[in-house]
Amino acid sequence: MGAKEFSFFLQQLRNELYSNLAVKAAELEGGTEAAAKLFAQLRYVPPSFPQLSERDTAAIRKVADLVVDQLGLSPKNDILRMAGDKNQSPNDRVNLTLVYANLSDVAQRQRAWALNNAAHINLANHDFSQSFELSKRALASADAVIAADPKLGIEMRDLKSKAALTAAIASARLGNEAAAYQLQAVAIENGSKKAVNLSLPLSVEIARDLSVER
């Protein structure tokens, strides 16, 4: 394991430990507030990962909301802006995007785009497992947006064309070609021109421009 890979491993380990701390703290009286105070002192906002349950995600959200408030951060002007800084490592950008996507003040529409963008960053960084999971969440979020506000159907169709293609590529790279073909069909159904007449496994290069700042 090289220095870069070891640094990435340590960062992921820290995120997992802190996320677990936020979840466990929520089970104790006053634990959420205590965890938020600790993280604010560390100037750290815990992200939520796609593999977590809805219950754990909600627990982390409560802590993250308090930390953001205590630090006086703006979800869009601070956290999302930093996530868009391409001078940062892909892992840092994904973590910041996932922090943003899990905050209570973020609308479902914005959350869907954030999950799509995080999935795309992971795909470009060859983290196919995380990319696949995040793409699935982006697709589910897009469907929730359409159900709540059909007027956003055209925009969410654009998102689904991107998220489904990302998921198809990630799925193919993970060796699940059956799912990849299904997701490619979803991408085409939602208007993805890139997904038309492409053979699997798809190249990561094809996925350029699938992330969109919203």
pLDDT digits (tens, 9 = 90+) for 137-188: 999 999 999 999 999 999 999 999 999 999 999 999 998 989 999 999 999 9
Radius of gyration of the chain (CA): 17
Give yes or no for residue 132 having a pLDDT over 90: yes
pLDDT at 20: 87
Q: How far is CA 82 from CA 11, 28, 96, 142, 201, in A?
A: 17, 32, 7, 24, 33
Give yes or no for residue 62 having a pLDDT over 90: yes
What pTM does this model have? 0.87
Give yes or no for residue 95 having a pLDDT over 90: yes
Say how many residues make up the chain: 214
